[in-house]
Amino acid sequence: ELGRVHKLQSNLLCSFQLSSPASQLLTLCNISDYSRILFATWWIFITILTAFYTANLTAFLTLRSYTIPINTLKDMERYPEYRLVLLKGGFMEFLIKSEQVLLPKNVKKKMVLLSDKRDAMDLVKKGKYVFLHTKQTLQRLVLEDYQ
């Protein structure tokens, strides 16, 4: 009988030792689940944020930028290798021919008149040509060409 009591005490002690951490872990499991959910949410958020950032960075690094040193018609004088391209019968041709826009003579001599905007864009792509038109038209042409 003494052996049975000793065995029962050791079983109780063993069950207490096992159940005590288990009961403490049950309260930790709830916190652990919330921590896992919070960590997973944070991880997904950072992954999406990184994807947007790297996509923008990739687009920035791969997009060609077209910069030329010419911003005004007066700048055309300083760069004689560039030629001015205008649309034939357009308002810019009218302004230049009626001398309402002062254009240097060397620029006026090398001026190219075309009837189609696409031909003008092809010349600009070849280099050393400046197509003069409204800002909206030029933006649309560049966007169409980019797509």
Interior angle at CA 79, CA 78 and CA 82, nearest 5: 145
Domain contains 12? yes
Can you list the pairs that 99-107 forms with residues at least 24 positions away whose Cβ atoms lie under 8 Å? 101/73, 102/73, 103/73, 103/76, 104/73, 104/74, 104/76, 104/77, 106/77, 106/80, 107/73, 107/76, 107/77
114: number of Cβ within 10 Å: 17
One domain, residues 37 and 93: no
Number of domains in the chain: 2
One domain, residues 59 and 84: no
Domain contains 126? yes
Which domain, by its residues, includes 24?
Answer: 1-63
Domain contains 69? no
Q: State the Cα–Cα distance between residues 2 and 8, nearest whole angstrom.
A: 10
Domain contains 70? no
In which band, very low, low, confident or very high, does the pLDDT at 21 lie, cut at 50, 70 and 90?
low
Q: State the Cα–Cα distance between residues 115 and 40, nearest whole angstrom.
A: 60
**Helix (H) or strand (E) segment spanning residue 5:** helix 2-62
pLDDT number for residue 64: 67
Task: Encode pLDDT of 98-133 as tens digits.
Answer: 777 777 777 778 888 888 888 888 888 888 888 888
Domain contains 68? no
Task: Encode pLDDT of 77-101 as tens digits.
Answer: 888 888 888 888 888 888 777 777 7
One domain, residues 79 and 129: yes
One domain, residues 52 and 94: no
One domain, residues 39 and 5: yes
pTM of the model: 0.50
One domain, residues 1 and 58: yes
**Helix (H) or strand (E) segment spanning residue 112:** strand 112-114
